[in-house]
Structure formats: C-alpha cells, structure tokens
A and B are shown apart, each in its own frame.
Chain A
C-alpha cells in the first residue's frame, strides 16, 4: 500500500541501503540540533575521535534551556550556561553552522529552520526533538530522534529506520471564524486518539489544508506526534514555494528551478494508495480546548467534560487520573474556568501570524490583573518582525510580558514555570502532568486567539463571541 505518495517518493530517494536486520538506512538531508539532546552525542564522537561526516548538513541553535527574560551571559542558571557553552564548543570544534542570539537568527529550532529557508520540500530532516514533525508542513519527511540517533546522523548522516504506513487525513470546506489550525489538529487527535498514529505517517490534505498558510500547516504537522504519528506532512504547492522563495538559504537562479522541479516531482499522485483514510468536514470544527493530561483529552468549547463511563473500561483509569490532577468534574463546562497564567508561544504557535492574531484581538484591551500573561516569540526574527509591526506595544500596553525567543513554558526547562497547581491557558502542544515545570501544574491547550481572550477575561471563554 501507500504507493506513489510523497512518503514513498522521498523515502526511496534517500534510501542508502537495506540493513541486515531489515531496516532501511536513510540519508538525512538536513540535521537540526539544539543544546539539550546533543551533548551526549558529541561526547560519543569525541570518545571515538570521529569527525562529523557532513558538517554542512547540520545546523544548530539554542532554544530549550535559554532564558527568555534575563538573557545576558553568563546565564544566571549555571546548568543552562554549561549546556549552551557545551553546544558552542561543539559547533566550533566540529565546524557546524550555528545561530546563537548574536546572529539575530536564534530561536526555536522548528521556527528557525523554515524561516531561514533551510527546510524545503522533498528533504529528509532529523532533529533530537519530537516536534521535528513540524517540518513536514513543507512536504519533507521529518523525524524526531534520540541522542544516540543524533550521534548516528553526526557520524554518518544516516539513520536506521522502519518504514511507516501512511494515513491520509482529508479535510474539506472552510473553517468558521475563530477556528484555527490548532483547533483542527486538536480535533484530529481527539478523533484518532493519542495512540491512533502509532506506526503511521499522517498526510494532511483536502481543500481546508490547501487553503492554510505555511504557519498553519506547521501547527498541524507539529502536533502529529501528539497523535502518535512520528511524522506528518502536507504536499507542497504554490503556497509552499512562495513561502520559501527569497528566504536567506533558499535556492536561487538555476538552482531554484532545479529544486522546484524536484519538489513538484515528489507530490503524492492523485491516485496514490493509502493504508488508511480519514475524512473530516471543516464545517464540523469548533474551538477545541484540552481539559485533561493528554492532548487527546479535549472538548469543543461549548461541550461539557466527558463522563468516566463514556470511554472504554481500559481508558477509564486515565480519565480518573486526569480528573484528579486537573481538579475538574465530569459534566462541567470549561467556559468560565478562571486561569492563573496565559502562555503564548512554543513551536506550535509562536510564529508571526499567531502573534498578529493575538494582538488583533487584544488591541485596546487590558489583560486581567489576576493573570500572568506572557508572549514568547518563536525566534529573534519573529520578535523583530512583530516589533516592526508594533505588536510588542499592543502586548505591553495590555499588560503582557514581551519576552525573548525560546521554548520557555512549553516545557519549563528555564525559569518560566508554573507554580503549584496553577492553571495555564497555553498555546503549546503538551498538557502532560508536570510538563510546564510544576509537578502539580495544570495545562489547557488551545489556540492563540482562545488564549489571549482568556487573558483578557481571566477565565476561559468562547473566542467566537468576540469576533
């Protein structure tokens, strides 16, 4: 099955060999690295005295651990300082291109790759981060990997991988006002479950997806992994090509023409065979909010929280655990639920279009005094563009903290953490227990528009009522 999909084309194009255990050895065209999952990999190379095989194909930045408030060096957190300086030493010693804050191009690795024109269709991409799936928005196969696998890519530019099945997720129609890519992907994860994608790559298609900007497609592909699918992708089209053209590392001249021809050649055939197909209608979408401890535990904003016995017996303990942790009750509505913190950022929703939409809704309003609200742009370039448009002033005047670029409170590796059992309206991707830095902290995932209106009202609202 899955003949002549983009997945097949790109896989075959990069297959170096089939290994003795039956796995394919895949060439990785672009390797992205950051400070947290690479020190162990570089240490391995050093132990064995090995070079990086193709240093031109690896690009680094810092995102996970960097502070977003006090950014002068050395960092106040000695562990952060050591981790970042270790990467600095490694990229220097191994001759790897590196975008640190002094280049004004630093940011979340999944924001930086695309905005610099490094991420392109038909590539194989790997990064020691599960949200590498983001890059699939360009029609690449992008794999999240662990640190030992990072060392394989550094040493050989290849990985040993098993072929995935391909599920097409087709959505047609126009999304209503106040409904965003974030709502669509949360709904897909809700429909298929967080385990539904195990063994699959997700191909997103249909008129709804085709109408999406690259930023929106990135939001979709980013959260494929939350549905269990290691990779997600969208076939490249004119929207993709227009986005890439003119970016710093985008091909130019004859090279552009040559690459464009390649990009067009790898698009899934109209009669491509899929291992599974799910069809959804854009008209059925509503703003989605997670209420529990997995990204699949979500509801439409107007719906009440599920009864324990509404799920299979085997799923019930997880539901109970979610209710215990969140301190919510079945049957209640999230509307009106007071929030303590609002976080707008992360590789899911920290791009310029996300910040523009949040600022558009916020303009002329104040955020609630009961709520700590902060916006963390995805990269220094996003920050600069937002400031050029005056978005930072909208945020600051409304009482929002305007921060420097990084992963921040998506995972609480720097000082941006929830305290105690605070409830956070977050535009990030994971509501796992403890994810935002406090073991008893609570996360509600939603779109930037929903999050910003929660900031204004100090409680969860249906953003459509403000449009």
Chain B
C-alpha cells in the first residue's frame, strides 16, 4: 500500500480554460526523454515561454505559482493524447490536486495512478473561487477527500469525484500495482480460458 491521499491544504493557480489538451500541458518535443524527471520544467511550456525562451504572461510564471499545490482548470481538462507526461508534469511542478469542471478519461486514469486527485466543481463555483484568488493570491484552500468538501477561507464547497478513485485515494491503493498482482491465480486461469 502506498500513502493515503486524504487531506490537502494550499494555495491555487487558476488556469480556467476549456479543452486544455495534453499537447498544451506538455508539447510532444519534450516526450523525447526516457524518464519523467524533468517534466515539471516543461509544464505548459509553449504558453509560458515564447519561441526564444522568453517568459510570457501566464499564471504559472507568477511567483505565487512556485509554492502553489492546487491547480484550477476548466472543462475536459487533459483531453487528447494518453501521455502520462502531462500529469507527471503537473505533479512534478508541485501540484497535488487539480480542481476542474470535468476531466478527460485517460488523463483521469493517469492522475489516479500517480496519486493526483481530480475534484469537480460547477463552472459557477470555479469562477467564484477564481475571483477570490485573483483578489488574494495567497488564499488557502483546504480539502477533505473523505467529506468531498473544500473550504476557501470560510466558504464551503462540495465537490464531486469519481467514487472508485476516491476509495483508492482514501485507502492508499491508488497505485493499483499491488491490488492487480494479488489476483495472480485468477489472472492465470483467465489467460487459459480465453478463446485466444
């Protein structure tokens, strides 16, 4: 069993855009490395830097982003390619949780496998929180996975999340390797029984 993912507290960076694809999260040219070690540096690279490597106006380039642990996203976040480089970049940049309106399927599975909970709020709620953060960038967000609850200063929100992922975060089985391997006997039987 790995570490449980129950409670989080931290400041957030707002990237409230829809249909942010994994090519934007990590452009393909950074997939040429055989490890994930440096992926944090490449997070949203082309949105953060111009073609000469100069810093562009982007929320992740703000000083506050360096210590933030929560990323606020829009709808269908992480669509496109299955590259785990995308959630790896998010995690290695320092984000522990992503809050959004909805998430692409493969991306969500990848986040679960590396221990990054994805929480869902409505657009109205996300915009409200984003406004609050705009006014005060060091605003603390407190999250309880178990209670599906999130506090922004003293205002409470109830988020949705995939129930099976929630269970896995709470019992520390989000990296499913051990769970899957425990069924070795059944797996062998199935391999024999399949018609192919």
Q: Is the CB of A27 within 8 A of B191?
A: yes
User: Residue-by-residue, is B9-20 near A (CB-CB < 8 Å gives 1, otherwise 0)?
Assistant: 000000001110
CA–CA, A333 and B78, complex, Å:
30
Q: How many A-B residue pairs have CB under 8 A?
A: 204
- Residues of chain A within 8 A (CB-CB) of B21 are 294, 430, 432
The complex places the Cα of A157 from the Cα of B177 at a distance, in Å, of 11
Decide: A432 near B84, CB < 8 A? Known: A16-B183, A22-B167, A439-B46: no
Query: A27 touching B190 by the CB < 8 A rule?
Result: yes
Closest to A127 in B: B82
How far apart sit A432 and B173, CA to CA, in the bound complex (Å)?
Answer: 34
Q: Are A152 and B34 in contact (CB under 8 A)?
A: no
User: Among the interface residues A23, A37, A64, which one has the most CB atoms of the partner chain B within 10 A?
Assistant: A23
Most buried by A among B105, B175, B194: B105
Question: Smallest CB-CB separation from A417: which chain B residue?
Answer: B29
Contact between chains at A146 and B28 (CB < 8 Å)? no
For residues 33 through 48 of chain A, which have their beta carbon under 8 Å from a beta carbon of chain B?
Answer: 36-37, 39-40, 43
Closest residue on chain A to residue B189 by CB atoms: A16
Known contacts A79-B33, A83-B32, A228-B105; decide if A146 and B83 are in contact (CB<8 Å): yes
User: How far is B194's CA from A262's CA once the two chains are assembled, in angstroms?
Assistant: 10
Neighbouring B residues of A251 by C-beta, 8 Å:
196
The residue of chain A having its C-beta at the shortest distance from the C-beta of B32 within the complex is A79
**In the complex, what residue of chain B is closest to A54 when comparing beta carbons?**
B191
B81/A156 in contact, CB under 8 A? no
Which of B58-66, B148-156, B157-165 lies at the binding interface?
B157-165
A314 in the interface, Cβ–Cβ < 8 Å? yes
Q: CB-CB < 8 A to A435: which residues of B?
A: 23, 28
Option from A82, A128, A228 in Cβ contact (under 8 Å) with B82 = A128
CA distance A164 to B123 in the complex (A): 24
Q: Does B133 contact A (CB under 8 A)?
A: no
Q: Is A411 an interface residue (CB 8 A)?
A: yes
CB of B139 closer than 8 Å to a CB of A: no
Q: Which of A86, A158, A258, A315 contacts B183 (CB 8 A)?
A: A158
Is the pair A40, B84 in contact by a Cβ cutoff of 8 Å?
A: yes
Q: How far is the CB of A295 from chain B (nearest CB, A)?
A: 9
Q: At the interface, yes or no: A104 with Cβ under 8 Å from chain B?
A: no
Bound form: Cα–Cα A432–B82 in Å: 14
State which of A144, A156, A294 has its C-beta within 8 Å of the C-beta of B106: A144
Asked if B135 is at the interface (CB within 8 A of a chain A CB), the reply is: no
Q: Are A412 and B196 in contact (CB under 8 A)?
A: no
Q: Are B46 and A433 in contact (CB under 8 A)?
A: yes
* A57→B190 CA distance, assembly (Å): 13
CA A20 to CA B172, docked complex, whole Å: 11
**Closest A residue by C-beta to B34:** A39
Whether A156 contacts B187 by the Cβ 8 Å rule is yes
User: Would you call A434 and B195 a contact (CB within 8 A)?
Assistant: no
Q: How far is the CB of B53 from chain A (nearest CB, A)?
A: 11
Most B Cβ at <10 Å: residue of A144, A149, A259: A149
Contact A80 B32 (CB under 8 A): yes
Do B196 and A120 have beta carbons less than 8 Å apart? yes
The yes or no answer to A13 lying at the interface (CB within 8 A) is yes
Stretch at the interface among A194-202, A280-288, A451-459: A194-202
Query: Could you tell me if B106 and A158 are in contact, using CB atoms closer than 8 angstroms?
Result: no
Interface status of B87 (Cβ within 8 A of chain A): yes
Expressed in whole angstroms, the minimum distance between the Cβ of B182 and any Cβ of chain A is 9
B168 at the interface (CB under 8 A from A): yes
The verdict on A294 contacting B19 (CB below 8 Å), with A120-B196, A129-B82, A195-B75 known, is yes
- B residues near A (Cβ < 8 Å) are 17-19, 21, 23-24, 27-29, 31-36, 46, 51, 75-76, 79-84, 87, 102, 104-106, 109-110, 113-114, 123, 162-165, 167-168, 171, 173, 175-177, 179-181, 183-184, 186-187, 190-191, 194-196
> Given A155-B180, A156-B184, A430-B21, 6 more contacts at CB 8 Å?
A39-B35, A128-B84, A146-B106, A198-B105, A228-B76, A262-B196
**Sorted from nearest, which 4 A-B pairs have the closest CB atoms?**
A146-B84, A146-B110, A21-B167, A39-B34
Residue numbers of A with Cβ under 8 A of B are 13-14, 16-17, 19-23, 25, 27, 29, 36-37, 39-40, 43, 53-54, 57, 64-65, 77, 79-80, 82-83, 86, 120, 122-123, 128-130, 132, 144-149, 151-152, 155-162, 164, 194-195, 198-199, 225-226, 228, 230, 251, 258-259, 262, 294, 314-315, 317-318, 321, 411-413, 430, 432-435, 437, 439-440
Name 12 interchain pairs, CB-CB below 8 A, sorted by A: A21-B164, A27-B187, A148-B110, A152-B177, A155-B177, A225-B106, A228-B79, A228-B104, A259-B196, A413-B29, A430-B80, A439-B46
